[in-house]
Every structure is written in structure tokens, then in C-alpha cells.
A and B are shown apart, each in its own frame.
Chain A
Amino acid sequence: MNSSVEKNEPCQICEFQENLNILREIYFFSVLPLELLKVFAYLCTREKFKPGDYLFTQDDDDGQAFYFISGQADLIRTDNGEEETIRAYGPGDFSGALSLLSNTRKLFSLKATTPLVCLILSREKFVHTMNQHPQLMESVFQAVIEKIHGWEELFIAERSAGCNACRRKIGVSLI
């Protein structure tokens, strides 16, 4: 059944194999069957960024998801012309699940602070592929919903106790 395993003699450690291993580690993709992961591993591309390059900018809908292979980037929020660095992204981080699912404007900018290599998948590719297996969207949504839940649970436990203003606004898992 699985012909790729036995027939890949000349394929040395190619990007495709590495991409596949990466996708299997990402919560958003790991719920999908291997056949589909292979398609995504094939469709995603690697991009290099230089320090100062923007991966995406606030208010734009770039329609991409990123996985950080190496390097660092800062998440920045700009309000009234003032930039505030929220946190840093680094190797192993994944961002952009919601961008894959629908048109959404980014509320932040992401700016490379060191030379950076990312694995990128566009919404167009994701949607075209998932359209052929609509029944699998259910597990993708499940994964995202669990992630949002988990995120809020952690936030309540760790952070919000000291911040009264935050506490009033929590409840994103109730939307």
C-alpha cells in the first residue's frame, strides 16, 4: 500500500522528507492522515528572511502559515504609530492556522531579528487540497478549537491573576 517507503532509493535526505517530519509535529497537521501530509509537505516552500524583513504586517491578510526552522523573529503590535514588541518566535514555533482557514487580517506584524528560515504554506494550496477531502476539515477544526481552549486555560492559570483588566476580557473560548 505505501509505495513511497520502499521506492525512494535515490531520494537522499531531500526537503520533502524533512518537511513531512516537521508537519507531523505540528498540532494543526498531525491530525491529518499521512497521505494528505505528504501533499502538504510537497506543497509548502522554504523561505529565507534577513534581519529586518517582515514575514507579515499588521492589518494585512497574507494568507500564509509559518513554521520556524531556524532564526528568530519579533511579534510586534503597532498602535497610534508606536511599536510594541509582544514576544519572540523561534525554531519549532508555528503560526497562522487561522490564516489557512479563512480570510483574516493579521493583528500583529512579524519581523525577523536574525537570519531566518521558515516553512510556508499558503491558504490557496491548503484550501485546494482540503476541498478534495472536506470530511477531514472536521478534525482540523477540532484541533484548532482544542488549541484555543488549551491556550485560554493556560492563560487563566498562569497570567491573568495579576492583571485585573485582562481578567475582565478573558473568555475567548466562549465566542
Chain B
Amino acid sequence: MKKEPDSVVKRSLFSWVLPGNVHLQISLVGLITLTVFARVLPLEMQKRIVNQAISLRRLDLLLYYCGIYLVSVLTASGLKYIISILQTRISENVLANMRKDLFAHILTLPLNFYRKAQPGMVVSALVTELTTAGTFAGLAISSPTINIFTLLAFAGYLIYLNPLLAVISLGLYPIILVIIPILQKRANSANKKRVDSTRVISSLIGEAISGIHEIQGNGTFRMENRRFGKIVDKMRQIRIVWTLYKQGVKVTNNFFVSLGPFVIFILGGYLAMHGKLELGAMVAFLSAQEKLYDPWKELIEFYQVYMDAIISYKRTMEYFDVPVEYAIAPEDREAYQLEPSIDIKELSYTTDTGIQLLDSINMTLKPGEALALVGFSGSGKSTLALCIGQLYKYTSGHILLGKQEVSELTKEDMVHNMGFVSQSPFIFSGSIEENLMYSCAAVHDREDGDGGVPTLDDKIAVLHQTGLFADVLRFGLNAILEKSRQEHLAGQVVHVRENFHREYGERLADYVEFFNENKYLRYSNVAENLFLGAPNDPAFSENQLPQNAYFLELLGKADLVMPLLSLGGELARQTIDILGNLTPDPVFFEQSPISLDEWDDARLLVDRLHRTKLMQLSEEDRRYLLKIALRFSPGRHTLVALPGILRDLILEGRALIRESIRKDNPSAFSFYQLSDYIYSQTIMNNILFGQTKTSNPKALDMIHQSIIQLIIEEDFLETIVDIGMQFQVGSKGDKLSGGQRQKLAIARTFLKSPRIMIMDEATSALDNKSQTRIQNLLETRWKGKSTLISVVHRLDIIKNYDRVAVMRAGKIIEMGAYQELIDKKGALYELVGGKK
């Protein structure tokens, strides 16, 4: 196999057709040969049926030839199907290869590229733009082969039947080849005009709609109509021309193709009359002529696919044709283990547009030294950090890491030696643990073993160090235990519950709503209020309740069906009314019983609700309304109030339902009891034996502190943290706060424990306490172990750095120990003074 070209973006469209598909393509050509044969055979049979079987009145021959005819038609269709399967496989193979290679290339593009690139463009390039190119690759060899072969075979057969007639009837095709492209060109140019005029008209309509108050206020209806009318008329003209040419192509093609039989009738008829052409041959001639049309059409279609494919392929590849700045991994050696010294000489960095961001920077850092980079925003301190971290490619000068030039190191060399925490770290969807391992992953992601993979203790240690421990613990406490897997924990939790109620029960009563049989629980939902129990039978799980006939019957007895349906209707209406104009976002759904993924259905339902009465809704709609009513908890979903009457009805219903279940189906539920673990509730709610009422962070903190104390006493803190580390952070980590995301980013770098650490305002989103904690850690635990460069915007944390560099306008204007610089009363002194 040939060596592949260096870069995916330089490859031609055709270069994709063969690699990896050689076998498929060869089988395809073989199948095509068979198919062509199977296509021509029926023509010969036609001739023989007329000439021999019918004219000689021989039934055996008729059956024999018809049999062959049938077999070849069946074979041809079967083969056609197999060919299309192979084509699809080739297309999809090529498409998958293109996507993988292009994605791999995109990931390595310099950060500069992404300042201009729109994520949407990248998405559409990978997802849609390449598909036509893939389709083309499937057809590239097979389609022209099969159609040209078929055309040639038919033509050959026609010549074999009667050379003169064949040459004249086939002579029509070259004429088509000349005329059609001319018409097509005109159609294309008309089409371009049509697209342009559509754009003009849409912007005009858009303007009229957004400026409607001006139009109505000024009464300029007639003027606007004239303006619109003019463009519409122009568009009409363009569309007519476009359609005319488009239809012209079709009509011309059809005309010439149907001229074929005319030639055959007039010339063939004449020849047949004079005995120079058999009748059977003429029949065969006619059907061959007709059959020429299909491969002809397919060829023209293929031509169009080719045109589209080459355009979208080129556009896509050109867009990403940016040189990659660094190799991913060294080819002929292991990644370097660098000595963590940093030596910068005459470093400059100029952007593409010629703006100089760094100007002749000189400095050295010995292994283990800590440097704080300070200066006003825009002074170049982040740029310097990004250059050292190989994220920007400096334009002149040198950065030496352990005597190796950064611009010549591979990415793998960098990740083995350096940890980089950026200003606004990105967190990927997945669990906390997966994100914690993200930086380590690249170092350990090698076939040759997994030595040094962090243990649970290591992970817990960095969680502690970064102050993320309490958050992870909270996620753990908010998890729901699985009865089958984690039953052993239940007993411990119940034990903690007892201690909690004894030691903290009264003190925290203001913040917790304890489960209580005789009270309506405002912070629990309606379903929980109806049962005050955890379902053991899946038929009674919250999602199944609206379908559960027994439950519905009980609701009926308690007179709750209509009130709950109408509550559900009101909740849906209010939610849609409030959020209807927004793009759905998880933040908006925390306070409504409707969830994000139900959004579209809920909107449609509310539309129907505006037109029909509750009772006239379909069974399915009513079930859904009941479902959201059962999820409603008035303490949390404040967009609708719980009417007092309904509250009392639910309380009465609770007594009725619990009693009925105890009688009819006692094993279906475990009713809440202070002595039992509740599997439908979170660990936290189990400990509280209730639900927190507040979202006030300080109050929640108090509750957590007391619980943590008790969990430590019971010795299963680590277990809960482990559960908490499985918390799913959501897309882009959007279930975490800004501070949590930043702590997680620091934690993943600490876990990797790199020799060189660069922190680019890494603690800017943290509260004071966390910032101090991490600063202390850098000054104790990491001191001397890692060389540290910290871009700092708060000057009160830099006192204990070995060195401080003050930057202004891309230059280091002062560098030295903190006290030394303060005593000098230079730039740092000013900066610190200016801050006060």
C-alpha cells in the first residue's frame, strides 16, 4: 500500500477511494461485469423469442428462452442490490475514515485557529459537509464502471445486430453531451441569482417584522408594500428563468432519448421491409434503446454528485488547512524526562496581525523555584505562560525547559513534564473521577503499562488539598443507594440518623422538614406525600404510577384525579408561559416539575390544552399531567401555589392509600420508619429523615458539617466520597459551580504531580478560604518539588514566591524577591500601592 500523504487536509478526494477498500472495490468490479452480462442477456432472449420460438411456434423454445430471461432479470436485480450494499459500505468506511482523520487533525490545530473558528462550522464540517464526499467515494469506481460498461455492452450488442442502425441511433448521444452542459450552466447561474434574491427578500421581511411598530406608527404600509413588491417581481422573473432552464435540461434529454425509437422505426422499419433486419432484432433494438436511458441517467447523476462532493470536500479541507505546530509524539524515542529548569532568552511573540505581545523576555528559573508573574491585564503575563506551556508558538527567541527548546518538543514531551491550569478551565462531561484522571490519562494512556496510576487515597488527598472534598462529599450524600449493591451501607446510615437526631435534631429543625405522617411535607413531592414510603414494587415507582390501575383507583376514591390533573395542567401552562421563549437550559428546570428532555412534548401538550378541556385530552396526555402533578413540591416549585383544599385532600388521601396498600399489597411499599433505610431517598435525606428546606449555602454548610462529623465517627467517609466521585458533572461541567470547576482543574494537575506547573490565574474564581488553602499548599507541599510559574492578579498572595516578575507592555520590567522589589520602591511597589 502506498504511503499516505502527511496531512489529511492536503489529500485529494480520490485518495480516499482505495485505501482500506481495495477488496471491496475489486469485488465490486467483478460483480459489475456479471451484472452487465445479466443485463444484455435478456435482449438476446427477446430476439430469439420473437425470431425462433414464436415464428417457429415452438413452445419448448419459448419456455426455455423465457426461463433464461427470468433468471437473468432476477440475477441482475440481485446483483444490483449486492452492489449497492458494497457501495454503501465503501461510502461509510471512507466517511468514517475522513471523520476520524480530520478530527484528529482538528485537535492538533493551534489555539490561534480557534479564536476565529466557529464551533458550529467545525461541527457541520464533520457531521454534514463530509457526507457527500463519502457518498461519492462509494460511487467513484463503481458507478462510472457499471454505467459505462452497460452503455458499451448495449452499444456493442446493437452494433452486432445492425451496425448502420446502431451508429445512427447512438449518434444522438454525442449531441446531448454538447447541449446539456450549456443549458445546465445557464440553470446554475440562474440558480445563483435565485439564492441571492432569496437572501435579499428574507432580510427585507426580517426588517419589516422587527420594525413593525415603526411601519404601523408611521402608516407606511403602501411604501413597504411597494418595496416588497419590487423585489418579489424581480424574484418571480429569476425563478421563471431558472425553472425554464432546469426543465429545458430535462426536456432536451428526454427528447433526444425518445428520438431513438423514431430513428429505429423509420430506418429499422425500412430495413425490415427489405428483409435486411429480422423482426426480433428490431424488438431487441427497441428495448436496448430504451434501456440505454437508465445508465445514461445514472451517469449524469453521478456527475452531479461528483461536482457537489468536490466542492464541499475542498471547502471543508481548505477551512482546516492550517499547519500543525507541534508533533504529537516523538517517533524514535521515549518522551523526555526533563530537568525542571526554565531558561528564557530574548523571547518575543507577535500575532499574525503584527501586534507584539511579548518583547525580548529574559529570565531563568532553577528547578523547584516558584515565580509569580504580575502586572495589569494585557501586560502579557498570560501570553508568556501560554508560550512556556507550548500553547502559543513564540515567534523569536528561546524557551529552554531542561535545556530543550520548547518549540521543538512534542506534545507528549510537554504533558510528561508539565501541568497547566488555565484561567477558565474546561471540564468534560463524565464523572468527577473521570475528570480528575483527565491529566493523568494522557501520561498513562500508553500500551506499555499502567505503572503509577493514582490510587483512591491519592485522589482523596488531592480533593482535600484543593478544597473539593466537601463538595464531593455533598455529591455523595445526595446519591441514592442501590438496594442490590450497597445494602451494607444502609445499616450504617440508619445508625448515623439516630445520632444525628439525638445530637443535632433540634438545632437544625429550622432548616429541615422531617418526615411526619401527620403533616403535609412542602419539600417532598405529591407522590411522596401520598405514600410516605419507598416502593419495593416497580409498578409503584414514580414513573409508573400514572399507568398503575390500582393506584388510579385509589386516587379516584380519594377524589384526587381531577384536582391533580388540573394541577398538572396549571404547572405545564405556567412553565411554558414563563420559559416558552427561551432556549432550554438545565438551569431553568431546577424549579419546575417538568424536565428538560420533556420540554418539546410539554409545549405541544400545552398547545392542545389551550384548545381542549382536561377531560377531552388523550389518555397519554392525562397520564403526563398526572406525572408532573405527582412530582410537584410546593416548597421548591413556587410558580404555582398548592391550594389549601388540595393539600387537605392529599393528606386524607394519604391515610386512605396507606391503609389500602397495607391491606391489599403490604409488600409493595416500605413506609418511612425511623428505624429503616429508605431506598428511594438520598443518603442525606436518610440521615436527616427528612428534606432540607433551605438553599442558603451557609445553612446547608452547617448541616453538612454536622453530618460529616457523624460519618467520620462511623468510619465510612471514604465510601461516601467514592460514591460522590461518580457524580456526573454534566455537559461542559455545567452542574458544577465556577469555583468547583476551577478546583477540579487544579486537582487534576496536582494528581499528575508534574515537574513544572503553570497556573494561569488558576484561583481567580475561588473564595478567599480556598485560595489561601491552595496558596499554602503551593508554599509547603509543592515547594522545591515542582518548578512553579503562577500568573497572579491578586497581589496579597505573592509574598512567599521565590521570585516575582512584574510585566508591562509585553516586557519584564522588574524581577526579584518580593521584599527586595518592595524595598526598591519600583514597579511592584507602585502596583501594590495602587491596589490599596
Hey, which bits of chain A sit against chain B, CB under 8 A?
Answer: 3-4, 7-8, 10-16, 19, 35, 38-39, 41-43, 45-50, 53-54, 59-62, 103, 105, 124-125, 128-129, 132
Decide: B574 and A16 in contact? CB cutoff 8 A: yes
Decide: A53 and B574 in contact? CB cutoff 8 A: no
Whether B643 is near chain A, meaning CB under 8 Å from some CB there, is: yes
With a 10 A CB-CB cut-off, give which of A4, A39, A42 has the most chain B CB atoms. A42
Of the candidates A39, A49, A59, the one whose C-beta lies within 8 Å of that of B768 is A59
Q: Which stretch (B537-545, B581-589, B668-676, B745-753) binds chain A?
A: B581-589
Tell me the minimal C-beta distance from B206 to chain A in angstroms.
Answer: 15
Whether B495 is near chain A, meaning CB under 8 Å from some CB there, is: no
Known: A14-B641, A42-B591. A129 touches B582 (CB 8 A): yes
Complex: how many Å from CA A127 to CA B699? 24
Tell me the minimal C-beta distance from B350 to chain A in angstroms.
Answer: 31
Whether B830 is near chain A, meaning CB under 8 Å from some CB there, is: no
Of the candidates B573, B578, B698, B764, the one whose C-beta lies within 8 Å of that of A54 is B698
Hey, which bits of chain B sit against chain A, CB under 8 A?
Answer: 510, 566-567, 570, 573-574, 577-579, 581-583, 585, 587-588, 591-592, 610, 638-641, 643, 694-699, 737-738, 764-765, 767-768
Known: A47-B694, A54-B698. A124 touches B578 (CB 8 A): no
Tell me the minimal C-beta distance from B181 to chain A in angstroms.
Answer: 49
Complex: how many Å from CA A129 to CA B591? 14
Question: For residue B699, which residue of chain A has the nearest CB?
Answer: A53
Complex: how many Å from CA A163 to CA B585? 50
Decide: B583 and A132 in contact? CB cutoff 8 A: yes
Complex: how many Å from CA A49 to CA B695? 11
Question: For residue A47, which residue of chain B has the nearest CB?
Answer: B696
Decide: B738 and A103 in contact? CB cutoff 8 A: yes
Decide: B566 and A39 in contact? CB cutoff 8 A: no
Decide: A14 and B639 in contact? CB cutoff 8 A: yes
Tell me the minimal C-beta distance from A151 to chain B in angstroms.
Answer: 23
A-chain residues with CB within 8 Å of residue B643 when the two chains form the complex: 10, 12
Tell me the minimal C-beta distance from A98 to chain B in angstroms.
Answer: 16
B-chain residues with CB within 8 Å of residue A46 when the two chains form the complex: 638
Decide: A42 and B639 in contact? CB cutoff 8 A: yes
Of the candidates B638, B694, B765, the one whose C-beta lies within 8 Å of that of A16 is B638
A-chain residues with CB within 8 Å of residue B695 when the two chains form the complex: 45, 47
Of the candidates A38, A43, A125, the one whose C-beta lies within 8 Å of that of B577 is A38
Decide: B640 and A128 in contact? CB cutoff 8 A: no
Known: A103-B765, A128-B585. A3 touches B577 (CB 8 A): yes
Known: A10-B567, A15-B641, A103-B738. A39 touches B579 (CB 8 A): yes
Complex: how many Å from CA A15 to CA B756? 54
Of the candidates A4, A13, A47, A54, the one whose C-beta lies within 8 Å of that of B574 is A4
Tell me the minimal C-beta distance from B121 to chain A in angstroms.
Answer: 20
With a 10 A CB-CB cut-off, give which of B566, B638, B698 has the most chain A CB atoms. B638
Complex: how many Å from CA A59 to CA B768? 6
B-chain residues with CB within 8 Å of residue A47 when the two chains form the complex: 694-696
B-chain residues with CB within 8 Å of residue A13 when the two chains form the complex: 641
Of the candidates B581, B591, B737, the one whose C-beta lies within 8 Å of that of A35 is B581
Decide: B638 and A124 in contact? CB cutoff 8 A: no
Complex: how many Å from CA A48 to CA B581? 31
Decide: B638 and A128 in contact? CB cutoff 8 A: no
23 residue pairs from A and B, CB less than 8 Å apart: A3-B573, A4-B578, A7-B573, A7-B610, A8-B570, A12-B643, A15-B641, A38-B577, A41-B578, A42-B591, A46-B638, A47-B696, A48-B694, A50-B510, A53-B696, A53-B698, A61-B767, A105-B768, A125-B587, A128-B587, A129-B587, A132-B583, A132-B585
Decide: B585 and A42 in contact? CB cutoff 8 A: no
Complex: how many Å from CA A45 to CA B699? 15
Complex: how many Å from CA A47 to CA B610? 35
Decide: A15 and B577 in contact? CB cutoff 8 A: no
Complex: how many Å from CA A124 to CA B586? 11
Complex: how many Å from CA A48 to CA B510? 9
Question: For residue B768, which residue of chain A has the nearest CB?
Answer: A59
Of the candidates B567, B570, B588, B639, the one whose C-beta lies within 8 Å of that of A128 is B588
**Known contacts A16-B639, A103-B765, then 10 further A-B pairs from the complex at CB < 8 Å, ordered by chain A residue:** A4-B577, A10-B567, A10-B643, A14-B640, A41-B578, A42-B639, A43-B588, A53-B699, A124-B737, A128-B588
Question: For residue B769, which residue of chain A has the nearest CB?
Answer: A60
A-chain residues with CB within 8 Å of residue B696 when the two chains form the complex: 47, 49, 53
Question: For residue A127, which residue of chain B has the nearest CB?
Answer: B587
Decide: B638 and A39 in contact? CB cutoff 8 A: no
Complex: how many Å from CA A90 to CA B261? 97
Complex: how many Å from CA A60 to CA B567? 41
Tell me the minimal C-beta distance from A32 to chain B in angstroms.
Answer: 13
B-chain residues with CB within 8 Å of residue A48 when the two chains form the complex: 510, 694
Complex: how many Å from CA A25 to CA B227? 43
Decide: B638 and A15 in contact? CB cutoff 8 A: yes
Complex: how many Å from CA A100 to CA B639? 22
